[in-house]
């Protein structure tokens, strides 16, 4: 089948090799019943690929439904997908059909599959392997014939290592993987997309189409686009509506682009080096930065403490923490201590001798645990204690959603405090 005709039909713009490869895989797998896992960052258009697969399959005249697993509360997702019987839980005043019953014979697209709870994953695995499911509150096994297409912007294989995603489900879904490239990996398509969006918005708002200078085009192409096509479309609309001068210079273009070209979050060594902005956005990466900063501060405090034990007279000249604006790394202001000859150079060993009534005879550095799981659990417990068990306040303090906190409590077997 002609790839360009499919692009025109579904409004896909671009000719990059990565995009064309993803399109070819989607077309080849469409007329089968194989499960498909679509990988790609947020905003790259994963749902469009699921629609292509359904439209080119033998199920094209049957229902298609897209379900965002991350948008459904954990307590109701089983009911949404598999249905429930009357009285099966509080508020179940009537029986209800789930998506796997109403879409029988068609295709269901499960977006953000990485957010699906483990219990629901077990139910989904049974559907994929045996075509069977059981409604919530029922003991009757029901049959369904639904093709499952899943999508994620997470590394599901990594999730299987830390127990957040079932390994058997991962390999069952990943029968045919399709990777939708990020916009920064298809730079040749950026200007094509921008021209299409600005032309559409010019028609919509009855305005003059935007024209870019050569430098402005370079700025547009070389931007990293963490929000991908969704972000590009938003920028195109902003410029079309807000710009009085329709001939856009490089400086004007920069004024519309968010100031997040570079991330301040840490890059983990030992990887491929190709870490996406979407991965940086999740809570685990934010915790990495927090833990590294905490470790640095603790080591500085330990150093200062042992210096004071070694020379009690240093108390009046104790080092003061200051901030170096060039690198935002905590520094010790050692002017007073150095002037009195009491300051130990950074990196030099701290040796404590038995002096006076000091009962410390030996000091040994003990490496603290850097386990992300342990630290994450510890922070959650501290937040719950601080807010007296109020999950909403604790989740706001931690910077995560209340639903994510609830999942973490179950994952780490933390009881309400």
By residue range, what is the domain housing residue 399?
Answer: 372-411
The phi-psi region of residue 394 (left if phi > 0; otherwise alpha if psi is between -120 and 50; otherwise beta) is alpha
Could you report the per-residue pLDDT of 274-288, keeping only the tens digit for each? Answer: 444 444 444 555 565
- Tell me the mean pLDDT in the region 201-219: 93
The C-alpha atoms of residue 373 and residue 411 are separated, in whole angstroms, by 10
DSSP state of 89: S
29 domain-assigned: yes
Please, which residues have CB within 8 angstroms of residue 145's CB and are 6 or more apart in sequence?
104, 105, 131
pLDDT of 395 higher than 50:
yes
305 domain-assigned: no
pLDDT of 271 higher than 60:
no
* DSSP, residue by residue, 254-286: HHHS-S-SS--SPPPTTS-S---HHHHHSHHHH
Q: Is 147 helix (H, G, I), strand (E, B) or coil?
A: strand
Confidence of residue 159 (pLDDT cuts 50, 70, 90): very high
pLDDT of 21 higher than 90:
yes
- Tell me the mean pLDDT in the region 1-25: 92
Asked if 194 and 173 sit in the same domain, the reply is no
Confidence of residue 336 (pLDDT cuts 50, 70, 90): very low
Q: Residue 222, Cβ neighbours under 10 Å: how many?
A: 12
**Out of 155-159, 262-266, 318-322, least confident range:** 262-266
190 domain-assigned: yes
Could you report the per-residue pLDDT of 220-238, keeping only the tens digit for each? Answer: 999 999 999 999 999 999 9
- From 146, 181, 216, give the residue that closes a domain: 181
Confidence of residue 298 (pLDDT cuts 50, 70, 90): confident
251 domain-assigned: yes
Confidence of residue 125 (pLDDT cuts 50, 70, 90): very high
pLDDT of 52 higher than 50:
yes
The C-alpha atoms of residue 309 and residue 358 are separated, in whole angstroms, by 8
The C-alpha atoms of residue 132 and residue 117 are separated, in whole angstroms, by 19
pLDDT of 113 higher than 90:
yes
Q: Residue 399, Cβ neighbours under 10 Å: how many?
A: 12
* DSSP, residue by residue, 25-59: HHHHHHTS---EEEE--TTS-HHHHHHHHHHTSTT
pLDDT for 226: 93
pLDDT of 154 higher than 80:
yes
The C-alpha atoms of residue 216 and residue 251 are separated, in whole angstroms, by 7
Kind and range of the H or E element at 397? helix 391-398
Confidence of residue 396 (pLDDT cuts 50, 70, 90): confident
Q: What's this model's pTM, rounded to 2 decimal places? A: 0.62
**pLDDT averaged over the chain?**
81
pLDDT of 301 higher than 80:
no
44 domain-assigned: yes
Pseudo-torsion of CA 106, 111, 114, 118, nearest 10°? -40
Q: Residue 324 — φ and ψ, nearest 5°?
A: -90, 110
The C-alpha atoms of residue 412 and residue 397 are separated, in whole angstroms, by 19
Please, which residues have CB within 8 angstroms of residue 21's CB and are 6 or more apart in sequence?
none
pLDDT of 78 higher than 60:
yes
Could you report the per-residue pLDDT of 376-390, keeping only the tens digit for each? Answer: 888 888 888 888 888
Asked if 65 and 128 sit in the same domain, the reply is yes
Please say whether the beta carbons of 35 and 129 come within 8 A: no
Asked if 161 and 33 sit in the same domain, the reply is yes
Asked if 85 and 141 sit in the same domain, the reply is yes
The C-alpha atoms of residue 391 and residue 407 are separated, in whole angstroms, by 12
- Give the domain CATH number at 177: 3.40.50.300
389 domain-assigned: yes
Please say whether the beta carbons of 123 and 133 come within 8 A: yes
- Tell me the mean pLDDT in the region 188-210: 94
pLDDT of 337 higher than 50:
no
- From 240, 256, 272, give the residue that closes a domain: 256
The C-alpha atoms of residue 279 and residue 268 are separated, in whole angstroms, by 12
399 domain-assigned: yes
- From 142, 163, 181, give the residue that closes a domain: 181
- Give the domain CATH number at 233: 1.10.8.60
Q: How far is CA 365 from CA 292, 302, 306, 360, 371, in A?
A: 18, 10, 11, 14, 18
> pLDDT above 70 covers what percent of the chain?
74
DSSP state of 122: H
pLDDT of 264 higher than 60:
no
pLDDT for 126: 96
pLDDT of 332 higher than 60:
no
Q: Is 365 helix (H, G, I), strand (E, B) or coil?
A: coil
pLDDT for 223: 95
Asked if 120 and 213 sit in the same domain, the reply is no
Q: Based on the structure, what is the number of domains in the chain?
A: 3
Asked if 27 and 173 sit in the same domain, the reply is yes
């Amino acid at each position: 089948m002609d790839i360009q005709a499919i692009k025109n039909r579904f409004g896909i713009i671009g000719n990059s090799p990565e995009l064309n490869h993803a399109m070819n895989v989607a077309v080849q797998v469409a007329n089968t019943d194989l499960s498909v896992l679509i990988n790609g960052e947020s905003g790259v258009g994963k749902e469009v690929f699921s629609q292509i697969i359904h439209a080119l399959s033998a199920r094209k005249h049957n229902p298609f439904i897209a379900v965002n697993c991350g948008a459904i509360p954990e307590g109701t997702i089983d009911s949404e997908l598999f249905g429930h019987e009357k009285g099966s839980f509080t508020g179940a005043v009537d029986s209800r059909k789930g998506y796997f019953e109403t879409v029988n014979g068609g295709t269901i697209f499960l977006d953000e599959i990485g957010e699906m709870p483990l219990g629901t994953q077990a139910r989904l695995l049974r559907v994929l392997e045996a075509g069977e499911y059981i409604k919530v509150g029922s003991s009757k096994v029901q049959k369904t014939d639904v093709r499952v297409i899943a999508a994620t912007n997470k590394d599901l294989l990594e999730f299987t290592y830390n127990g957040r995603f079932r390994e058997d489900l991962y390999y069952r879904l990943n029968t045919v993987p399709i990777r939708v490239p990020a916009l920064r990996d298809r730079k040749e398509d950026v200007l094509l997309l921008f021209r299409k969006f600005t032309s559409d918005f010019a028609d919509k708002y009855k305005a003059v189409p935007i024209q870019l200078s050569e430098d402005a085009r370079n700025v547009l192409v070389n931007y990293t686009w963490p929000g991908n096509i969704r972000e590009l479309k938003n920028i195109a609309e902003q410029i079309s509506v807000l710009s009085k001068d329709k001939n856009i210079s490089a400086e004007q273009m920069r004024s519309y682009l968010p100031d997040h070209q570079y991330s301040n979050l840490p890059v983990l060594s030992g990887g491929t080096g190709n870490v996406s902005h979407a991965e940086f956005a999740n809570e685990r990466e934010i915790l990495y930065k927090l833990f590294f900063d905490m470790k640095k501060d603790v080591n500085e405090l330990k150093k200062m403490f042992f210096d004071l034990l070694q020379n009690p007279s240093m108390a009046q000249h104790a080092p003061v923490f200051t901030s170096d604006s060039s690198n935002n790394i905590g520094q010790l202001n050692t002017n007073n201590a150095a002037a009195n000859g009491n300051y130990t150079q950074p990196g030099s060993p701290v040796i404590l001798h038995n002096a006076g009534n000091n009962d410390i005879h030996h000091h040994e550095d003990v490496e603290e645990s850097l386990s992300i799981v342990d630290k994450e659990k510890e922070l959650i417990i501290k937040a719950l204690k601080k807010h007296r068990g109020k999950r909403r306040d604790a989740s706001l303090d931690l910077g995560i959603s209340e639903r994510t906190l609830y999942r973490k409590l179950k994952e780490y077997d933390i009881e309400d405090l």
